[in-house]
Structure 1
Amino acid sequence: MGNPPKRIEIKGKLRPEKDEILLLDNHGLLNLFNILERQLEGLNALIREDKLKSYSQFCVHILMVISEGDLEEKIPGIEKELEELTTYIRGLIERKPRHLEFFRGILETVEVAHVRLQELNEDRLSWRSIPLAEFRSRLNQFLSATERVSRGKFHFVYPPEEVSPLSYKINFQINSQNEELMAPPVLHDTIRDIVGNARKYSPPGTEITIVLQETEPPGIELSVSDSGIGIPETEIEKVVEYGYRATNAMDRNTMGAGLGLTKAYLLSRKFGGRFIIESTEGKGAKFQLSLFRPT
């Protein structure tokens, strides 16, 4: 039967430095512009246009801007540049239609970037009533962009579709008596981060289950489970540390900085909740995050 999964509630105190907090707050955007830069570099290798190189350098510049904490005042300029990139890529679709899927992937990444930049104007930590459809649409948008970036290496399917050797089955369950849930908007980031990790560390052909539900006392609970590589038992409590990656994940090029679990854990601490990891190395992991609504 094998050993049962190790279940540990993470309770250690994290004290990130000021620059680390900055990167935690913006690491979703960092990952996104990193992906966009790679997409543009890949396309430039195919069709060799100076504008592509210029837009690729623009992405590198934005990564530096985000890292230095000088983002807010530059958002209008970034938005304008992204709109110009969209116009340029649409022109390429007409001139070079055989690369259509590549172009669509870039356009989708740019669309997600627009959404993330708009999210920066929200009060991300104040609880509000979020429609269930918004939880689903935000996650689906992220997964669709991730799928296109893979360039056919994998795709996502949803119930009642059956999983295939090149797909991940996404089973997103929301348990609520209403059409809305009270939650801080930053929870969208957490869902994307943990589901993204589950995909990165699970082989195609597996199922990723996401459960979102209300709790008593008033709050919200998120759990994400996968059947991937899991976490070595001695490292379960370490994976929430800033930039830490488990030793069995070192050989995977994930295009991420290893900050998603850190951010999720700090969020649970901020709202007096719990963060529980259940894992067996080689068999998968389950992450359970709870937040309690301030009174």
Structure 2
Amino acid sequence: MTPVTPVDPVDPVDPVDPVDPVDPTNPVIPTRLVVHALVREDGTVDGAELYEVAGALGMTDQQVRLCVKRLVAEGRFTLEGRGRRSLLRLTGAAGPGLPATPEVDFVRHAYRQDRGLEPWDGVWHLFAFAVPESSRAARDALRDTLTGLGAAPLQGGLYVTPNAIAPYVRAAAASLGVGSALTCLTSRDLDAGGATDPAALAARLWPLPRIAARYDAVSRLAEAVLTDGPGPGPGPEAESPTARAVALAAAFSEAMLPDPLLPPELLPRPWPAAAARARAAAAWDHLRATAPGNGPRLFRLYAEAVR
């Protein structure tokens, strides 16, 4: 799987702590995500639509103005006009601070798992490293790469996953200058604290109930789209396909980013992710069909990703 982001290039995914307090029923929607989500096929963002959609999602005009000001100062967009009469143009500049979104090929991998096309071969992939305190930044970045790729810590400096992520981990270690400190190995025999059953190990190592709750939120939003239920905000603007798409994208990211994409063989039954992703795919199709002709790239990019 070669990582490709669905909206704009992003920084390595920050790992979500297993006990973080994020409310899965009300996913946080960064203002930057709204701006990037509203980029149209011609690389522009309409100011009137931006303020309308942001307002529908509970954001103030002041939040939007400050966000636009920062994005322009960072060189990511140029700005013509002011407020609702403005037009932003994407410059393509990269750098830190972009909203985290699931990478297209990982989304595709998830849908392949849902269709039974990625069976587990029974192999655990383990990664160990010992990086000195003098290279703490590189050590932290390597740890974040591992957790961002879905690996779980077994103990200090030792991580495990059922997925074959070694090429990405080796590439990250090399780019950080700590390739010689990394050890990669595989095993079909894993005993962690006396747990040996693969499903029991998965339940012990990953926060599966929290991830499942996030997918329940995706299902509810997607179902509201498909049944023309209430929109994500209090005003009538929240009923627009664009506002619904941004809210669904945020909930989808909240679920996918901490999801280690464990093989179905390791997951409890029923597991809500597959059904949620199926509903989300149907919702993307519905939203794209009802969106304006020059609507955001978000519709096309997510619709393509879930194929």
What is the TM-score normalised by the length of structure 2? 0.23
The structure having more radius of gyration, on CA atoms, is 2
Q: TM-score, normalised by structure 1?
A: 0.24
